[in-house]
Structure 1
Amino acid sequence: MSIPEQRRIVTTVIPGPKSVKLHERRRAEIADGLGTTMPVFIDRAGGGVLVDVDGNHIIDLASGIAVTSVGASHPAVVRRLTEQAERFTHTCFLVTEYDGFVDVAAALNRLTPGDHAKKTALFSTGAEAVENAIKIARTATGRPAVVVLGHAYHGRTLLTMSMTAKNVPYKQGFGPFAPEIYRAPSPYPYRWPSGPENAAAEGLEALREIVTTQIGANNVAAIVAEPIQGEGGFIVPPPGYLKGVQEFANEHGIVFVADEIQTGLARTGAMFACEHEGVVPDLITTAKALGGGLPLAAVTGRADLMDAVPAGGLGGTYAGNPVACAAALGAIEAIESEGLVDRAREIERRVLPRLAALVGPDSVVGEVRGRGAMLALEFVRPGTRRPAPDVARAVVARCHEAGVLTLQCGTFGNVIRLLPPLVIPMELLDEGVDVLVEAVRSIR
């Protein structure tokens, strides 16, 4: 690493003067609909550090929303994409073929759960992958309906926005929405009305009732679920729920789609989060960490389902771009050769107990949850479960002021999520968590 992996603040405040000036230019040139979490402009990044244009070294606990799991400029990614860019940058795989596309597909066929025959199609974004999973499921089953969960997030396109649960900012003003999207309650253990011990059984019963009596199981093409809900607040489903959904789907000929765009590729301490529950989905969508920082997404699944769509029905001009494929092969190489699945588990063992110590009857932290390097704190009014988004916002602001990048999420906006690069040095991770813990305690 040419960048010192340490937190270093050289300006009086963050953002510094150069970032402020650039942000003013941004406001004049870029649509307001594109928000920002931390208004600093980045000059260099690597490992667990972001260096802004003012020279501040910021601890990265976001990974570009789970994208740079192997770091922002891992040597294996840089080497492969550089070599590919020198050969050619684009031909469109639908016009002429290249081996990188096939190599990424083969890797995903090998790594995703299950030993059945699989095939893969590559795309550019996570939302695009979800849309194509629905196209595949509808073609294979001849059915129109799609079932999703409360608190779900699947993207910002018309179809995936319709599948997403949260209104502001993802849906407000953008309707009418796509038809044949139905929603079942999310088994959110912390907020399940009759208690977390009942969330799995009652959540499954609610889903069954909606599918069988309100929609008709013979009309449902797919049930789509995140093995851990991301934007919804890092909600970990209760044990047995996902397995029950899979079994119910299989019983009725419904395609079970695992949306692993945020959870996939080592993030949760398994190569794919559905492995924690012993679930083998019919189709699985990946993106984010797959491209090592470049836009790449995929649908991988049962060969018979993947082949249901005739030639020409899937694709896109930039789908499986050769440079992005090269970067993905570098990211997969790093994940496997450096044992990053185990590293995610180590991050959980190191961080989760420190966060859990913040929970208490008089605390603003109602619950700590997550798996691997996908961890979260939910903020509430002390002594209640009423969401406290203002507290989460204040903690995030204090972390940013101190040079630690954290992200706010959750349907109620009251969750702080941690997504550190899996390659972050442990002492740097500890320092970032120190800042977070101090920020929480300063508000308690």
Structure 2
Amino acid sequence: MITRIDLRGRTLSRRELLEELPRAEVDVEHAAAVVAPILADVRKRGAAELRDLAERFDGVRPVHLRVPVETIAASVGVLDPDVRAALEETIRRVRQVHGAQRPADFTVELAPGAQVRQRWVPVRRVGLYVPGGLAVYPSSVVMNVVAAQAAGVVSLAVASPPQKDQGGLPDPVVLATCALLDIDEVYAVGGAQAVAMFAYGAAGSDDVDGETLCEPVDVVTGPGNVYVAAAKRLVRGIVGIDAEAGPTEIAILADGTADATHVAADLVSQAEHDPLAAAVLVTPSVELAGAVEAKLIDRVDATQHRERVMTALRGEQSAIVLVDDLEQGLEVVNAYGAEHLEIQTVGAAALAERVTSAGAIFVGAYSPVSLGDYMAGSNHVLPTGGCAHFASGLGVHSFLRAVQVIEYDADSLAAVADKIVALADAEGLPAHGEAVRARF
């Protein structure tokens, strides 16, 4: 069902450890070669190409690429009341957490009359992508939109694939979530072509409803498959992106006190996302490893997406990793840098403080990753593929720029003029110094 990797009694360098750990092979370069012509065609042909691509990839030709505002508004009326209540509570919690994320402006007085101020400025416009392949993700609408709104972004557009059984509209729960968040610019566009539309903008067809242009954005965010990741790589530099999100990952650091049923259920919960999803258990307990393996058999047989889950658990990206002790386990999870890291051990909170690489950390038996996917208040758009070593999850910071404002008066400039000239001359750029001397 799932591979075992035994690291007990072995002293490995960082390089050797990384080679031992499981990881999905995702060929973004190959995907980039596939999507590059798509990006070029969308840039050239706009809405006409978007319709052709929807017919090709989604099996439906949307009448409206931009979903009519009245359709978005009406979607709330048919939303299941329990789902609506859950979405509204998710929105409330995510707003509360993200409202606390905005960094403070500051002013530094270096000397009388010498001042540097820094202020945080939101980007003008963002494009938020919401997948719609193996599953639909109204929760991703919340995560992307709330973070951008908390940052102060004034222009937000959402794109999600057209659904054949919805007459070419995005999933109705996705539309209803947009309505709950006061988003009325939504496009029935999926995949790499949505990224291209956001990056380059797209003119509407003259012969179909006189559609409004989709104006270019400044930042594109949101999860997606390898082709979405490749498209984001290709447009980076034209627009900002959050990350090249890959298949989801869960790592669990657990000792013999962990409940095998909880651990197995959490591994399965993430494996159901995608056949390439990674599920990794790191433990010093051989007894727990065996119990989890037994529980996985029962849970996989009973789950709705059995084949998908089984493929993910049997893949090279998933494993049970045996370690000597929790110290070695901590070294392993820090080297792995999981998107989601659960810690189910004695002293879990103290161990969590020593984790240096994880997209999000879930502490204790009652903080499963599923909580973070929906209702914790944290953001579930997180770095994958080891990117947690250097990248953060989506948040208010993803939509802000730090702008420094420099203001010196004559006396404060004169006080450092000779030093500026000395440095300019040392760099062979005398005109820099002359620009200062000219003022005196």
User: What TM-score range do you get, normalising by the shorter chain?
Assistant: under 0.3
TM-score, normalisation: structure 1: 0.25
* Rg larger for: 2
Between Structure 1 and Structure 2, which shows a larger proportion of helix residues?
Answer: 2
TM-score, normalisation: structure 2: 0.25
